Chains A and B, each alone.
Chain A
Amino acid sequence: MKRLVKPSTLQLTMPFGKTLTFTVVFLILFGSAAEGMARLDVFQARLTPPTLGSRHSQLGYKLTLLNADIRNKGPVDCIMVGSSTVDVGFDPEVFQHAYYAVTGHEIHCFNFGIDASSSISAAVLANILVEDYHPRLLIFGTDARDYAVKREDRDTAVVLDSPWIRYRDGHFSPEGWLLDHSYLYQYRQHLAVLLRFNSQGALWSTTNMSYKLRSNGLNPIETVGAYINDPPDPDDDSYEVVYYKRIYSSYQMLDENLAALEQIMDHKRSGTEVIVVEMPVSDGLYYFFGNGELDYDRFVAQVEKRASRHQVPFWRTEPLDSIPDNDWSDYSHLNLSGAEIFSSWLGEKVARLETQKDADSIQQ
């Protein structure tokens, strides 16, 4: 028998490795079969969407909803990205109706607002969504908070630290690659939970969602916020008030966040129409800023300046100052009625812009 290796301790002889080779072959076979099963609709229908390695459940949910929406209604024409203000404030259905009323054309939109994201996470998500779904219109719903939170901020990091997001953002990792290419890997966490006799969070049938997303991505909020036009009670230590004070009391727009805004607007160069829209905020929010409306105006001016440089429309929502007090859920989030008003206004505005462009191109 011939020695395979020279060292005195390791004395392997031929034939060697037959079982290991078969194991690899079987592993590929069984793994492929499992991957095939994980891709079946019947398998995915019972499981909650995979988290894609993120601690933020909304990311996986919205991607799954978007894929299902495309399967049911065809390719998506426009996607709106942004933070929770978009998540709860943009109703694609109302938007589509308003658009149709002006143009007589159908448009298929999806709300990809992610709770707690900033302009940086919105930019990364926009890259992925444009690359994968090729919408003709990308709308970025922005607010002052988008530029004040640091990349390392817990809330922003929760989206950006997802291995899948990092992989798609150009940081290779085996986990990110697997999440991007393998459904089995995406659902692995759920399967592990199920193996441990705990279906909570893994099966739709046993999962109590803290929010109910609509198939078009809207996260409808029915609650009506109180006193949103008044300054906050100094003794109020609710999460929302403490959070706004932290973010806005010495308001700074960070360069990395402004650069992310420009990155979103850069999609215009590759043929995607980009619109930046200021998300409505209640008058009460100004009280949180150290310099009141001056700080807020600084935010508007900075966004306006960059939008104009990129020749991207930036729409203020001043015309919506008339949103009734009952149509807010808190200082900066619309409830369902508020979302209807905002989305209808936006749909109409987009329709008019496109009609105008069509008219311009005919004239030319």
Chain B
Amino acid sequence: MNITSLHFVLFTAFVVALYYCLPQRLQNFWLLFASYVFIATWNWHFAVIVGLVTIANFLIGLRLRVNGQGWRGLLWFGIGVNVSTLVLFRAAKFFLPELEAVLGSLGISTQAGSLKILIPLGLSYYVLQAISYLVDVYRGQLKAESNIVNFALYLAYFPKLIAGPIERARTFLPKLAQPRVVDNQVIARSVMLIFIGVARKLLIADLLNVSLLSDVFEIPAKYTPPELVLWLVIYAFALYNDFAGYTDMVRGVSGLFGIELSANFRAPYFARNFTEFWKRWHITLSEWLRDYIYFPLSRLLSRNAPGQHKVANLILPPMLTMLVSGMWHGLSLHMLVWGGLHGLYQIIERIPALWRPTVPPQSQPIWRQWLGMGVVFTFVILAWVPFRWELPAAFELWGALLNWSDVAIRYRRLFLVMPILFASLLIDLLQHKSEDEFIFLNWSPLARAACMAIILLLVFIATGDDFEQAFVYQAF
């Protein structure tokens, strides 16, 4: 059940309606039941896997602290269980053909491609949430959850299951234990988020995505450098709006249950340095990586090599963190290169900090902020190349960008998509300038209603050919 489908709208409406009628003690049961139904609509095996991961982490969590002391071995065992589950499913596409070959050599015949493992829906997301839970319990920052329903709901809560936001147990579980209130303001905020999300996904991301010619990904050298730059910009905005649209929608849906989910994006292409970019892009993943990889590694290095300006501390934490981020996105070399590039950007950005104090971007002159924005955007879109393209095509594309002998722009659609890009920038600009993602609620009801009606009408038209695009981040 895709979350942009009419089925999901009806499903959510039914779940919300009954949720409001239930006493609070039954609401979590109901949400858990609905979440497992939602998972089963994709594939009932996925529900079994979420269930097994839930039970394993719940039991480990209960025994993680004994007499106020964390049990280190059990923590590593728990992390190992989660990571190996993720790696097993992620790596299946690599080792299954090998396994088939081995079985074949032993005389056990399998039909070609018959051994297939589907990556369970949202696995990468709930595994990270489970690890953060175990670490927080081990550190004593969170009491182990004794209510299996609440814990299971933390991992399987359907609005955030497919692609996050990656919630922390220490902020999410207390929300489940409290009575929830859905008042006028919550409804207004939730509806606004849903509308922005729908507009971002169906009217911006999907249209930008289909404007990308498939050749761009296969034979990039066919295009002139200005065309490639424009395709890259379109790809960058398509990817951003796809994920930001998804996040807004699920935050809006969750808001209807009175459960606030974390924001994942804050106008990332307005970032003025790379550190800021990662505070604005996929925020919940960035914070997870920061808290569970970057900081522990940095602390470890500081303990073993005291002194703030050590080169190892400058290089290793950002590079390893970004490499892990790359691997989380996909076990492939091109994702590793993408992560490595972002690691490199951050290292280079921090080099001046070795001899002078860092000036926060907002304290810099305006021209520096604009320059920083341009530099960050340029290098971020260059890094999207290995994120989307396999390495040979990525190198081909980078190579083609170096030869500016032909500057023709031959594709009309490159100009036709400009209003869509501007729409995306306008939403970001309004939210960024006011530093309030709910800025639209300050508009008059008439203005808001007109925008909502236009969005609905355009969505009605845009969905007229049964065209459905899955969310990009759903695949991670």
Interface residues of A (CB under 8 A from B): 5, 7-13, 16, 18-27, 29-31, 34, 188-193, 195-198
Contact = CB atoms under 8 A, between A and B. Distances in A.
Contact of B445 (A12, A22, A24): A22
A9 B258 contact: yes
Interface stretch (B144-152, B159-167, B183-191): B183-191
B13 interface: no
Given A7-B20, A9-B19, A10-B182, A23 B453 contact: yes
Interface stretch (B236-244, B371-379, B463-471): B463-471
B20 A10 contact: yes
B465 A189 contact: yes
B462 interface: yes
A13 B184 CA distance: 7
Nearest to B458: A195
B474 interface: no
User: What 4 A-B pairs are tightest by C-beta distance, nearest first?
Assistant: A22-B449, A192-B464, A26-B453, A188-B464
14 contacts: A7-B21, A16-B187, A19-B452, A20-B191, A21-B449, A23-B449, A24-B453, A27-B456, A31-B457, A188-B460, A188-B461, A195-B461, A195-B462, A197-B413
* Chain A binding surface, main DSSP class: helix
Contact of B453 (A5, A30, A192, A198): A30
* Chain B binding surface, main DSSP class: helix
Contacts of B112: none
B207 A9 contact: no
A271 to B, nearest CB: 40
B27 interface: yes
Interface in B1-58: 19-21, 23-24, 27
B66 interface: no
B464 A189 contact: yes
B211 interface: yes
B446 interface: yes
A192 B20 contact: no
Contacts of B464: 188-193
Contacts of B181: 8-9, 11
A4 to B, nearest CB: 9
A195 B465 CA distance: 10
Nearest to A16: B184
A358 to B, nearest CB: 51
Given A30-B454, A30-B457, A192 B449 contact: no
Contacts of B465: 189, 192-193, 196
A12 B185 CA distance: 9
A192 B206 CA distance: 11
Contacts of A196: 207, 210-211, 465, 467
A191 B445 contact: no
B323 to A, nearest CB: 37
B7 to A, nearest CB: 15
B461 A12 contact: no
A26 B449 contact: yes
Contact of A197 (B416, B446, B463, B467): B416
Counting chain A CB atoms within 10 Å of each CB, which of B258, B413, B465 scores highest? B465
Contacts of A10: 20, 182
A195 B413 CA distance: 11
B180 interface: yes
Contacts of A31: 457
Given A9-B24, A13-B184, 18 more contacts: A8-B179, A8-B181, A9-B19, A9-B182, A9-B258, A19-B445, A19-B452, A20-B191, A21-B449, A23-B448, A23-B449, A23-B453, A25-B449, A29-B453, A30-B457, A192-B462, A192-B463, A197-B210
A31 B207 CA distance: 21
A9 B448 contact: no
Nearest to B455: A23
Contacts of A25: 449
Contacts of B402: none
A26 B19 CA distance: 30
